Structure 1
Amino acid sequence: MATIIRNEVFSCFVFYGVLLVLKMYIIAIITGQVRLRKKAFANPEDALRHGGLQFHREDPYVERCRRAHINDMENILPFLFLGAIYSLTGPSLVVARLHFLVFFLARLLHSVAYLLALKAPTRSLAYTVAQIPCISMALQILMAVAAYA
Structure 2
Amino acid sequence: DVVGLMCLRVFVKGDEDRYEALKESAMALGSAFQKVNFLRDLKADYENLNRSYFPNTNLLELDEISKQRIVEEIKADFKMGYDGIVQLPNEAKFGVYTAYKYYYKLLRKLQKTPSLEIKNARIRVPNYQKFGLLAKSYVNYKLNLY
* Short-chain TM bin: 0.3 to 0.5
TM-score by length of 2: 0.34
Q: Which has the larger radius of gyration?
A: 1
TM-score by length of 1: 0.34
Judging by fraction of residues, say which structure has more helix.
Answer: 1
